[in-house]
């Protein structure tokens, strides 16, 4: 049975690194980076006050469940640091899941509870779970940035030993 592609909107720090890693995951069809979570219309890189740098992911749920996508999201960024990833600091670098349905909200909340219970991060998850709102695509020079500049800046990486499925549940 083939299902319609699903959409997930995730913020985990600088969108370049998140996009680069998530795009390589089996089941991801496409992604676009942009700004969401604020109240400024037509956000841009130069003016996205209140917004998070985020990625909108289209994925094939026959190959990749929303839960699996979230588990990978928690593996590639630090969800225990508020408004920060690596050297990037500020609310635009916050960890946030923007849900598009009640089901996504429920899955996100359960996943966060499981990540907290696992003890794989040094602190509690600070990732917010928020209804999705307007998403403003980032400028073309920010799309697929690390594909075009493979040695460009990123603070995201896979942590193979930090997979939730391998975590010690307390």
Residue pair 51/35 in contact by the 8 Å Cβ criterion: yes
Q: What angle do CA 114, 118, 97 make, to 5 degrees?
A: 40
**Helices first, then strands: H and E counts in the chain:** 4, 8
Give the CA radius of gyration of the chain: 15
Catalytic residues, by residue number, are 14
Residue pair 60/29 in contact by the 8 Å Cβ criterion: yes
Backbone CA torsion sign across 59, 132, 140, 153: negative
Tokens of 43: 């956000």
């Amino acid at each position: 049975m083939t299902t319609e592609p699903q959409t997930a909107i995730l913020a985990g720090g600088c969108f370049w690194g998140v996009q680069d890693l998530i795009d390589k995951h089996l089941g991801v069809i496409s992604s676009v980076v942009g700004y969401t979570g604020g109240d400024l219309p037509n956000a841009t890189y130069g003016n996205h006050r209140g917004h998070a740098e985020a990625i909108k992911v289209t994925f094939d749920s026959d190959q990749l469940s929303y839960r699996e996508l979230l588990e990978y999201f928690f593996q590639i960024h630090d969800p225990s640091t508020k408004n920060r990833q690596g050297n990037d600091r500020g609310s635009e670098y916050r960890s946030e899941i923007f849900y598009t349905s009640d089901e996504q909200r429920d899955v996100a909340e359960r996943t966060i509870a499981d990540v907290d219970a696992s003890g794989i991060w040094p602190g509690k998850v600070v990732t917010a779970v928020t209804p999705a709102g307007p998403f403003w695509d980032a400028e073309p020079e920010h799309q697929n940035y690390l594909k075009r500049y493979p040695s460009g800046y990123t603070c995201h990486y896979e942590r193979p030993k930090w997979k939730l499925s391998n975590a010690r549940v307390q």
